Amino acid sequence: MFDHVGLNVRDYAASRAFYERALAPLGYSVVMEFENHACAFGTDPKPVFWIVQREPYGTGTHLAFTAGDRETVHAFHDAALGAGGTDNGAPGPRPQYTPTYYGAFVHDPDGNNVEAVCHT
């Protein structure tokens, strides 16, 4: 169901240090990082749990649902906008994440960032 989940944090360095130690016994480590404000934990190379420092700090959560194909990513985006969501990234490739990453993003009515992603 979930491809990955992200939490907003106030202090990136402190949160990264906390999760590095807390998740190590479970076999998770940092597998991706962006500009000292966001990183993903997982089992190489798959990121599954993100922490992101937001300024100003917000409590919104990021949920990414697995989509079976690119058409489903488009259908999700259309349906979410039709249901009252706000566009936060049209369907398309995101090569900055991985070469085959194809996703779409919307904010739900509470400001959470909801995504559908296909990796093929």
Q: What is the pTM of this model?
A: 0.75
48: how many CB neighbours lie within 10 A of its CB? 16
Q: Please provide residue 91's backbone torsions phi and psi, each rounded to the nearest 5 degrees.
A: -55, 135
Specify the CATH number of the domain 1-55. 3.10.180.10
Tokens representing 14? 């402190």
Confidence of residue 4 (pLDDT cuts 50, 70, 90): very high
**Hey, where are the domains in the chain?**
1-55, 60-120
Is it the case that residue 3 has pLDDT exceeding 80?
Answer: yes
Q: What's the average model confidence in pLDDT over 74-93?
A: 94
What does DSSP assign to residue 34?
E
Closest CA to 2 of 81, 114, 120, 112: 114
Do domains 1-55 and 60-120 share one topology? The answer is yes
How many angstroms separate the CA atoms of 96 and 101, rounded? 8
pLDDT at position 112 over 80: yes
Tell me which architecture the domain covering 60-120 has in CATH: Roll (3.10)
Model confidence over 7-61: pLDDT tens digits? 888 889 999 999 999 889 888 999 999 988 999 999 988 899 999 998 776 667 8
